[in-house]
A and B are shown apart, each in its own frame.
Chain A
Amino acid sequence: QSVLTQPPSVSGAPGQRVTISCTGSSSNIGAAYDVHWYQQLPGTAPKLLIYGNNNRPSGVPDRFSGSKSGTSASLAITGLQAEDEAEYYCQSYDSSLSGWVFGGGTKLTVL
């Protein structure tokens, strides 16, 4: 059971918008620790997609955006493309565990 909870799967048609939620608690997201998002394509290492809740590293398309409110965070992907089909993970810091934590991951399927 992951400290951060994500839906196991989401799906959308090309061109559509999807969101992936990440629910935490008062010891992580709710404690104002930043949330980061990763994209993992099949057979590859995770890649930082969003850092500091809503910042994109250089090279990440602006179709990807992040937000945070209370004890939850969300990743939004607009204008879905086939290449977006991947596993997505949220990550934060947890003060109760005194360590870094990941969500269980969400498989995005582009229909």
Chain B
Amino acid sequence: QLQLQESGPGLVKPSETLSLTCTVSGTSISDSSYLWGWIRQPPGKGLEWIGTIYYTGSTYYNPSLKSRITISMDTSKNQFSLNLRSVTAADTAVFYCARHGYVSGFDPWGQGTLVTVSS
């Protein structure tokens, strides 16, 4: 059964870097049929696509976040990761990882992890 699980600190200080990892089980992230994405949801607000990585290492970033994010993958651990630099309180959100295709939807999703930016 395909599952994704986010992990990382729940609290990050302003101006520091938020780092999260998504561990995938039940399939290989080297599968050429799919991409692997990060999505966030601020408390009480909607969904925002952050960025995506393909098994080749190619990355696609939300233009509004591009200057602050890096997405990478470790195929040996079947994981992909998100780094968001210079965070502020506005970056407080539930962060989700998900599998998706170029034309198919995001499915499945991880359970999500709340990251709070506060001193």
Binding site for B on A (CB under 8 A): 2, 33-34, 36, 38, 44-48, 51-52, 57, 89, 91, 93, 97-105
Give which listed residue, A48, A51, A52, A101, contacts B49 with CB less than 8 A: A101
* Given A51-B105, A52-B104, 11 additional A-B pairs, CB 8 A: A2-B46, A36-B105, A45-B109, A57-B107, A89-B47, A97-B62, A98-B60, A99-B49, A99-B61, A99-B62, A102-B47
Q: B111 within 8 Å of A by Cβ?
A: yes
Does chain A have a CB within 8 A of B21?
A: no
Question: Which of these, B37, B102, B105, contacts A38 with CB under 8 Å?
Answer: B105
Name the B residues within 8 Å of A44 (CB-CB).
111
How near does chain B come to A47, taking the closest CB pair, in angstroms?
7
B100 at the interface (CB under 8 A from A): yes
**Residue from the list A36, A45, A89, A103 in contact with B104, Cβ < 8 A:** A36
Question: Could you tell me the distance in whole angstroms from the C-beta of A44 to the nearest C-beta in chain B?
Answer: 8
Note all chain B residues with C-beta closer than 8 A to A93: 102-103
Nearest CB of A to B57, in Å: 17
Does B47 contact A46, Cβ atoms closer than 8 Å?
Answer: yes
Contact A105 B47 (CB under 8 A): yes
Say yes or no: is B52 at the interface (Cβ < 8 Å to chain A).
yes
Residues of B at the A interface (CB closer than 8 Å) are 37, 39, 46-49, 51-52, 60-63, 96, 100, 102-112
Q: Which of B48, B63, B108 contacts A102 (CB 8 A)?
A: B48
Choose among A33, A45, A52, A104 the residue that contacts B46 (Cβ–Cβ < 8 A).
A104
Q: How far is the CB of B37 from chain A (nearest CB, A)?
A: 7
Q: A99-B63, A100-B52 are in contact. Are A48 and B107 (CB under 8 A)?
A: yes
Chain A residues lying within 8 Å of B102, measured Cβ to Cβ, are 93
A100 touches B103 (CB 8 A): no
| B105 and A48 within 8 A (CB) | yes
Cross-chain contact B110 with A45 (CB below 8 angstroms): yes
Residues of A within 8 A of B48 (CB): 102
Nearest neighbor of B37 in chain A, beta-carbon distance: A100
CA A44 to CA B101, docked complex, whole Å:
22
Which chain A residue has the least Cβ–Cβ distance from B6? Answer: A45
Q: Are A102's CB and B111's CB within 8 A? A: no
